[in-house]
Amino acid sequence: MLRTLFRNAEVVLPSEVRRGSVLIEDGKILDIDAGENVQADSVVDCTGLHLLPGVIDDQVHFREPGLTHKEDLSTASHACAAGGVTTFLEMPNTKPPAITVEGVRAKETIAAKKSLVNYGFYIGATPDNAAELAVAKDVPGIKIFIGSSTGNLLVDEQTALERIFAETTLPICAHCEDETTVRANAARLAGTTDVADHSRIRDEKAAMIATKRATDLARRHQHRFHVLHVSTAAELVYLQEANPYLTAEICVHHLLFNVDDYPRLGTRIQMNPSIKTAADNEGLWRALLDGTVQVIATDHAPHTLEEKSQSYPQSPSGLPAVENSLALILNRVVAGECSLPQVVSWMADAPARIWGIVGKGRIAPGYDADLVLVDLEKTATIRDADQHTKSRWSPWDGQSLTGWPVSTWVGGKQVWSGETGFDESHRGAKPLFDHARGGFWATDEGIGIA
């Protein structure tokens, strides 16, 4: 049994930051207040550093299989490790799409061979695969695209949506943009080459209609539902009233970019849902602080810089973010805008609870030793050339941040260090998804252990 001691760390717990020494053994946290004389095979001196549970990014697009010129599970998981992300949940819109249990298992097989960090894969809904969704097990949940998507993943017809919510039991998440509104706006602005029109085509109304529709389905069917990438402050009206079936997330780009950034960044910030206004930035941040929204994620969706550099609307929507998301939010901690326990709640504990990821999201005895050491005094600048994602660019290129991950541990193994690089011998694992624990609102004390 191999033991590692993290000595003299500032340990970030759910409600406080406490100086202590954390002992891990065979991939599990053994003690969060280990004594000075405890025996360990290796000791990590954490003086001046904070120890956080690893980030769980519950919305990524890693492009394998089918689009691996943009990204693959090896390059993406390297980016995760360098960014403090120890578990990712990947969306089904690959080629072929993961719309069957067999398709999900095929992606898990690839990840077991290639991923440095832990992994899970959603099963995708189509207009006619409710029976397959009903028998799916051991996956984080079901993903519905209520709005434009690739192939046959668009589910916009009410009868199909009703059936999915009524006949399945897995938690559901959805991309919420009203397809009819988007198409009408696109027709009105036909011929435009101005990327700023992307936010007029995928406007507030499109988001509002689809989010209202989806949250209404969840309430009526009493089915756990997670609103992905909330982009407008207006949508929050459907989330403000506490409901045991509803949770939501905000992505870093919707917090940090707005339509005023189009002249500077152009298609680099072209996203679905689109970037909105500075007032939306402020409203979304308040929603995190007051608990209306529970999760920060990335919607990491890389394209090559050549693809993104095409003129609008030929340019694809999506941007890479997993290796910078934690630093972007730590920068706000340093600025005094939020606390480290809040960051851990938004980026580790809440996603673990929402998706039933057993033994993850907290630093507590018995939990998995998925950990990230961060230096809140480190200042560094994001550069395209330094990115580990295969796309090798970032919309935050040139931005300096204070507060960075400096080493990442997955299952008790150090998979990345800023000093020594990556441990190429390590592979992550598929976690246990236990939806019987009731999701976010039933697990105030954390998701717990196996």
pLDDT, tens digit, for every residue of 197-207? 999 999 999 99
Asked whether residue 121 is domain-assigned, the answer is yes
Same domain membership, residue 335 and residue 319 = yes
Sorting pLDDT into bands at 50, 70 and 90, what band is 36? confident
Same domain membership, residue 236 and residue 101 = yes
Mean pLDDT of 69-74: 98
In whole angstroms, give the CA distance from residue 223 to residue 53: 29
Range of the domain at 125: 54-361
Same domain membership, residue 118 and residue 197 = yes
pLDDT, tens digit, for every residue of 161-199? 999 999 999 999 999 999 999 999 999 999 999 999 999
Torsion angle, alpha carbons of 181, 185, 186, 188, to 10: 140
Mean pLDDT of 301-316: 98
Asked whether residue 135 is domain-assigned, the answer is yes
- Give me the CATH number covering residue 45: 2.30.40.10
Sorting pLDDT into bands at 50, 70 and 90, what band is 37? confident
Mean pLDDT of 239-262: 96
Same domain membership, residue 196 and residue 235 = yes
Helices 73-83/101-114 angle, 10° precision = 60
Sorting pLDDT into bands at 50, 70 and 90, what band is 355? very high
Mean pLDDT of 308-323: 98
Same domain membership, residue 237 and residue 124 = yes
Residue 149 has pLDDT above 60, yes or no: no
User: What is the reported pLDDT for 148?
Assistant: 59
Mean pLDDT of 309-317: 97
Cis peptide before 65 (omega within 30 of 0): yes
User: What is the reported pLDDT for 185?
Assistant: 97
Sorting pLDDT into bands at 50, 70 and 90, what band is 345? very high
- Give Cβ neighbours of residue 25 (< 8 Å, ≥ 6 apart): 1, 2, 3, 4, 412
Residue 286 has pLDDT above 80, yes or no: yes
User: What is the reported pLDDT for 206?
Assistant: 97
**What is the set of active-site residues?**
299
